[in-house]
Amino acid sequence: MNYKLKLFIVAIILIGAVAIAHAQQGNHVWLDDLLVSNFSEGIPSVSAKTSAGSDSMKLQGVYFARGIGVQSLSVLSFYLDGKAKKFTAIVGADDKGNPITSSKFYVIGDRKILFGSKDMKPGDKPENVDVDLSGIKRLGLLVTIADSGAGRVYSDWANAKFEMLNNAMPEPMPNDDERYILTPHSSKIPRINSPLVFGATPGNPFLYTIAATGERPLHFSAINLPKGLFLNAKTGIITGKITRRGNYIITLKAGNKFGTATKRLVIKIGDTIVLTPPIGWNGWNSWAKSIDKEKVIASANAMVSSGLSNHGWTYINVDDAWQGQRGGKYNAIQPNEKFTGFKKMIDYIHSKGLKFGVYSTPWISSYAGYVGGSSNFKDGAYPDFIKNNKRAYRYIGKYRFEKNDALQMADWGVDYLKYDWHIELNSAERMSAALKNSGRDIFFSISNSAPFALAKDWERITNAWRTGPDIRDSWLSLYVSAFSIDKWAPYGGPGHWNDPDMLIVGNVTTGSSLHPTRLTPDEQYSHVSLFSLLSAPLNIGCPIEQLDPFTLNLLSNDEVLEIDQDPLGKSARLLADEDNVQIWVKPMQDGSYAVGLFNIDGFGKTPQSFFRWGDEKPRSFLFDFSKLNLPGKWQLRDVWRQKNLGVFNGSFTTSIHHHGVVLLRMFPVGISNKLSK
């Protein structure tokens, strides 16, 4: 080998060594340069380069231009796959946060606590974080607070950054668990799936659709249909009016070449509507402000073509962003330019046997910056200076238009109103009265975070109330929204329902652009199971036309939906929490019980429990009937698999996946059993 060639080879080796050394030094990735909403599992959104109060981050008098601000309990999850060197930050409770409660910060890698701060209040000295991430695959940044009910709890990860290897980037936590399907496909033989009871007001327009599965075409009929009602034998849609109060017992029939299904329906004409929880679709978590008429019509069409309407899914609800200026014969909110032909669109939806809902607020401006139900102008004007400064007008104006808007909704044929603001009693009462005097049955749902102290009032004047904040597609949010609302159970029932918010399955836009839900398949089974046990309104929050087979199957189990739609209307109660398994029990009208066994796996008890580490295992669990005052023999049925498990005397042993559920129906055998109250 000649001298020049040797020099060339040495040079190449040196250049490569320098490049490798440079790569191994890593590149800095600021936390606030990431789309942090993709990593956040908390309920309030995270704020880049500001505090959670949308102000400058300030720790013990020092301002910080880099970092993120979080509010209340905060969970941030990252997948590093061993490609990070370290994480650094300065952490503390923001000076402008709640001075009473305290925050505590954790950095957790692969189940090990790499950093834990002291309890920190605003004004306390911040702490420096400098942790080695060599080899770490999964990382969690956690902030816990001393009082989960406290407001304005602002905590800062100031100057937070990763040092990554080889130009790698932190990724959201993977969600690649098997999407296993449990529910068998519907039979070709007819089955009627619509509710057993239906309520309407005397003289108001009546719309009820016989929801039925089975090979098409089906032929529908009804025995003892009251005077004033008319049934379309091809579609199963019943319309008309009943003027006389009372209970009417009808026999519904659906038939095809494979057989005939019958079902007893009780129509109650009186003062109470929506005797079972409404189930349908809401556009916000699908499209947010980009909703338009075409997307709504596509959703209605998909509700029918997917077969969901055959399982009883009924409502097509438009959320915020449909509203234009006031006008028309009632000087009411009119649709904006995205919703031309509004009445024609609603008529089309009704022709499908579906119902239609809208959104409004008693404020001057809605959360998304659209016309609200009040104004500081007598004619209800909404000029651009308000739209451009929407946050400043989230209050009730001098002039209110509840009656105007209710009459317009009834005239259009609206069936559902979501009323959204910082809930207070007076506004709710005014709109409740306006809707009841509109000449149409309009379901009245108030949102969000209804004060629990006024639960009896919400029961009296509304049809549903949001029991908590907006839901996000994370286990933490689901846990707060559903697993923590047992106290509301006594107030829900026929005509007035506890509402834990929308279903977070399929593709959703909660906190970021449209993406597959971050709930694992097991968590999704738990989600739909618990909402059904709670007798909650079920609003699909994803684009229906984008449903994959797993999600469609998840929403098409008639025995699960039957639990939600049970005419008794009782909410399940949390009757036991043992061995990290919660047992929720719901009495059913036929004397059986619906039971959910949920593997919570100690969620919230340790810092590590807030995160998914990828190594979680199923849990074997002994369900002891006697502990719930359910002695004796019971016929058990696996509801998701629609399969009888046999007769069990005293107990039942099963395996439950991490954050998963075993959903059962328990039918008494031989003796009378009573559940303790």
Residues 166-192 have a mean pLDDT of: 95
The confidence score (pLDDT) of residue 111 equals: 98
The confidence score (pLDDT) of residue 23 equals: 41
Confidence check: pLDDT of 640 > 90: yes
Cα Rg, the chain, nearest whole Å = 28
The confidence score (pLDDT) of residue 361 equals: 98
Q: Which domains are assigned to the chain?
A: 25-164 (2.60.120.1060), 191-269 (2.60.40.10), 279-571 (3.20.20.70), 575-669 (2.60.40.1180)
The one catalytic residue among 320, 420, 473, 566 = 420
How far is it, in rounded angstroms, from Cα 607 to Cα 113?
A: 8
Q: Is residue 470 among the annotated active site residues? A: yes
- The string of pLDDT tens digits covering residues 579-589 is 999 999 999 99
The confidence score (pLDDT) of residue 150 equals: 67
CB 317 within 8 A of CB 350: no
How far is it, in rounded angstroms, from Cα 506 to Cα 73?
A: 25
How far is it, in rounded angstroms, from Cα 81 to Cα 171?
A: 9
* Residue with token string 């902030």: 143
In terms of Cα–Cα distance, which of 343, 340, 341, 346 is closest to 316?
346
- The string of pLDDT tens digits covering residues 103-138 is 999 999 999 999 999 999 999 999 999 999 999 999
- Residue 276 tokens, joined: 């079972």
Q: Which residues contact 446 (CB under 8 A, 6 or more apart)?
A: 419, 420, 423, 428, 458, 462, 464, 465, 466
Q: What is the mean pLDDT of the chain?
A: 94
What are the CA-CA distances from residue 18 to residues 22, 24, 166 (Å)?
A: 6, 10, 13
Residues 454-470 have a mean pLDDT of: 97
How far is it, in rounded angstroms, from Cα 154 to Cα 69?
A: 7
What is the widest separation between alpha-carbon atoms in the chain?
Answer: 109
The alpha carbon of 150 is separated from its chain's Cα centroid by a whole number of angstroms, namely: 23
**DSSP β-ladder status, 191-192 and 103-109:** unpaired
Residues 495-506 have a mean pLDDT of: 97
The confidence score (pLDDT) of residue 473 equals: 94
* Residue with token string 């040495």: 10
Confidence check: pLDDT of 21 > 50: no
Residues 40-53 have a mean pLDDT of: 87
- Residue 184 tokens, joined: 């068998």
Identify whether 448 is preceded by a cis peptide bond (ω within 30 of 0).
Answer: yes
Least confident of 23-37, 109-123, 197-211: 23-37
The alpha carbon of 542 is separated from its chain's Cα centroid by a whole number of angstroms, namely: 10
The confidence score (pLDDT) of residue 510 equals: 79
**DSSP β-ladder status, 323-327 and 315-317:** unpaired
CB 647 within 8 A of CB 669: yes
CB 374 within 8 A of CB 364: yes
CB 315 within 8 A of CB 357: yes
The confidence score (pLDDT) of residue 560 equals: 98
- The string of pLDDT tens digits covering residues 469-479 is 999 999 999 99
How far is it, in rounded angstroms, from Cα 345 to Cα 41?
A: 37
- The string of pLDDT tens digits covering residues 352-381 is 999 999 999 999 999 999 999 999 999 999
* Predicted TM-score (pTM) above 0.75: yes
Confidence check: pLDDT of 14 > 90: no
Confidence check: pLDDT of 673 > 50: no
Q: In the structure, what pLDDT confidence band is assigned to residue 397 with cuts at 50, 70 and 90?
A: very high
How far is it, in rounded angstroms, from Cα 104 to Cα 118?
A: 6
- The string of pLDDT tens digits covering residues 556-572 is 999 999 999 999 999 99
Residues 233-247 have a mean pLDDT of: 98
First-residue to last-residue Cα distance in the chain = 93
Q: In the structure, what pLDDT confidence band is assigned to residue 173 with cuts at 50, 70 and 90?
A: very high
Q: In the structure, what pLDDT confidence band is assigned to residue 512 with cuts at 50, 70 and 90?
A: confident
For 312, phi then psi, to 5°, come to 105, -5
Question: Mapping DSSP to helix (H, G, I), strand (E, B) and coil, where does residue 90 land?
Answer: strand
Query: Percentage of the chain surpassing pLDDT 70?
Result: 95
In terms of Cα–Cα distance, which of 497, 670, 665, 518 is closest to 592?
665
| CA dihedral angle for residue 513, residue 516, residue 520, residue 525, rounded to 10 degrees | 110
The one catalytic residue among 319, 470, 499, 558 = 470
Angle at CA 611, nearest 5°, toward 610 and 616? 115
What are the CA-CA distances from residue 635 to residues 59, 66, 591 (Å)?
A: 61, 60, 12
- Residue 313 tokens, joined: 């899914």
In terms of Cα–Cα distance, which of 499, 485, 400 is closest to 444?
499
Confidence check: pLDDT of 676 > 60: no
Q: In the structure, what pLDDT confidence band is assigned to residue 543 with cuts at 50, 70 and 90?
A: very high
The confidence score (pLDDT) of residue 151 equals: 72
How far is it, in rounded angstroms, from Cα 220 to Cα 373?
A: 42
Confidence check: pLDDT of 7 > 80: no
Confidence check: pLDDT of 231 > 80: yes
Query: How many Cβ atoms are within 10 Å of 369's Cβ, its own excluded?
Result: 20
Q: Is residue 615 among the annotated active site residues? A: no
Query: Percentage of the chain surpassing pLDDT 90?
Result: 90
Angle at CA 247, nearest 5°, toward 244 and 251? 115
- Which residues, listed in sequence order, are joined to residue 653 by a DSSP beta bridge? 622
- The string of pLDDT tens digits covering residues 587-633 is 999 999 999 999 999 999 999 999 999 999 999 999 999 999 999 99
